[in-house]
Amino acid sequence: MERTIQSFESKTAKPPKSRGPLQNRRDRYRSELRAETLSAARELIREEGYQGLTIRKLAQRMECSPMALYSYFADKQTLLAALALEGFEKVAKRFDSAVHRDPLAAVKKILLDYIAYAEENPNEYRVLFLSVETLGEVELSREDLQERNPAFGPLFKRVQACIKAGVLKGDAFAVSTVLWTAAHGAASVLITAQKFPFGTHGLYAEEVVATIISGVQNRAIERI
């Protein structure tokens, strides 16, 4: 049976005095349907790649009207952006344990966790960083990345701590950018060049991270 936001709201319409509980019920319904939509979108991407994801296909899979989904996501780009945000939040959860007495060790852990996330969630990582339809079209400021981006922000704060402790030099944003892009390169290669003879993937990741950290230790990277 088709589900639409409109039909749900018409069935639950009540006098204004009961609006509080009913509004909570509507909000809960919308939240659940949104989560279900994102889950179904991930499954579709897993099966057909993000190129195969369309609002119409997604609606067919969920047995609902495309218009119901359009009330949440204006287009495919909006849907992919929502998936990317979820991915960022998952990455950030891995960084929660990166609070360490040694700030440089915390930076190393974040970079290794970042690469590990990509290997464990290759489809989501592709949506996050390898799809030109998501982040490639999003305009981000330094403040957005430093303060509000759940993936870049934790790395930036640890790099700041390293500079304050005197173990790294230069501009914190510039150093963080160099470290992140190097880790991103390693992560991308691991999930796209699967036949390359890397040997042990974990050892490869550790060597990449050790090399780039050694590089930034020996160079004061200023603003880029």
Residue indicated by tokens 């609006």: 19
Count of domains forming the chain? 2
Residue 87 belongs to a domain: yes
- Do 44 and 114 belong together in one domain? no
Residue 211 belongs to a domain: yes
- Do 36 and 63 belong together in one domain? yes
Report yes or no: 186 and 204 within 8 Å, Cβ to Cβ: yes
Average pLDDT over residues 14-32: 65
- Do 133 and 92 belong together in one domain? yes
Residue 222 belongs to a domain: no
Residues 42, 49: Cα–Cα separation, whole Å? 9
pLDDT at 174: 94
Task: Provide the residue range defining the domain that includes 39.
Answer: 5-73
pLDDT at 11 over 60: no
Confidence of residue 71 (pLDDT cuts 50, 70, 90): confident
pLDDT at 96 over 70: no
pLDDT at 102: 87
- Do 109 and 175 belong together in one domain? yes
Helix axes 201-217, 103-120, angle to 10 degrees: 140
From the number of C-beta atoms within 10 Å of its C-beta (0-12, 13-18, 19+), residue 190 rates as buried
- Pick from 88, 89, 86, 90: which is nearest to 73 by CA? 86
pLDDT at 35: 85
pLDDT at 156 over 80: yes
Residue 125 belongs to a domain: yes
Measure Cα distances from 214 to 22, 66, 102, 145, 172 in Å: 58, 52, 15, 24, 16
- Do 23 and 10 belong together in one domain? yes
- Do 209 and 122 belong together in one domain? yes
For the chain, helix, strand, coil in percent to 5 are 75, 0, 25
Picking from 34, 56, 73, the residue at the C-terminal end of a domain is: 73
| Residue 150 per-residue DSSP state | T
Picking from 73, 102, 117, the residue at the C-terminal end of a domain is: 73
Confidence of residue 79 (pLDDT cuts 50, 70, 90): confident
Residue 59 belongs to a domain: yes
Average pLDDT over residues 17-27: 65
Residue 223 belongs to a domain: no
pLDDT at 195: 87
Ranking 71-85, 121-135, 142-156 by mean pLDDT, the lowest is 121-135
CATH number, domain containing residue 18: 1.10.10.60
- Do 51 and 146 belong together in one domain? no
CATH number, domain containing residue 163: 1.10.357.10
